Amino acid sequence: MSGNITLTMIKPDAVRKNQIGPILKMMNEAGFRIRGMKYTRLSKEQAEAFYAVHRGKPFYESLVEFMTSGPIVAAMLEKEDAVTAFRELIGATNPANAAPGTIRALFAESVQNNAVHGSDSDENAVIESDFFFSKVERF
């Protein structure tokens, strides 16, 4: 059975370019409801922890530097089969491979600076939601 929650971040590249509004609009128009949302900036320790699964990969240190380079918007989103539906909406990690009309095809600069995050499993959606949101920050 698939879950109804996914966790997204609008990454520093998109925030810098004033793309929060257009990206949230696409998420809402695709049927995702916002269940939690915050504008914040990750510390080095927080970014390292969020991306711990990628520790040791060649892009890890650069990714942490990028993700701490400015504020982000983190949001919990609800929709049926949320993880799969949201990964379809955002497109492939590398915007060169992202389907036309997807958020990454429209807004990403590069494979690293790719505008948005989306959880890759229901299990990680829960872990990532708990990373950002306490009980009183979910509605």
Catalytic sites, residue numbers:
117
Please say which residue, 126 or 139, places its beta carbon nearer to ligand IDP.
126
Q: Could you tell me which stretch among 33-41, 69-77, 107-115, 121-129 binds ligand IDP (CB under 6 A)?
A: 107-115
Choose the binding region for ligand IDP from 31-39, 73-81, 108-116, 128-136 (rule: CB under 6 A). Answer: 108-116
Backbone angles phi, psi at 32, to 5 degrees: -85, 135
Nearer to ligand IDP, 4 or 124 (CB): 124
| Orientation of helix 122-132 relative to helix 82-90, angle to 10° | 80
Given Mg ion, ligand IDP, none, residue 59, with its beta carbon under 5 to 8 Å by kind, binds: ligand IDP
All residues at 6 or more sequence positions from 52 whose CB lies less than 8 Å from its CB, including other chains? none
Q: Three-state SS for 5?
A: strand
First to last CA, the chain: 23
Beta-carbon count within 10 A of 99 CB: 12
Q: Smallest distance, Å, CB 11 to ligand IDP?
A: 7
Assess 111 for contact with ligand IDP (CB under 6 A): yes
Q: Which stretch binds Mg ion (CB under 5 A): 25-33, 66-74, 81-89, 113-121?
A: 113-121
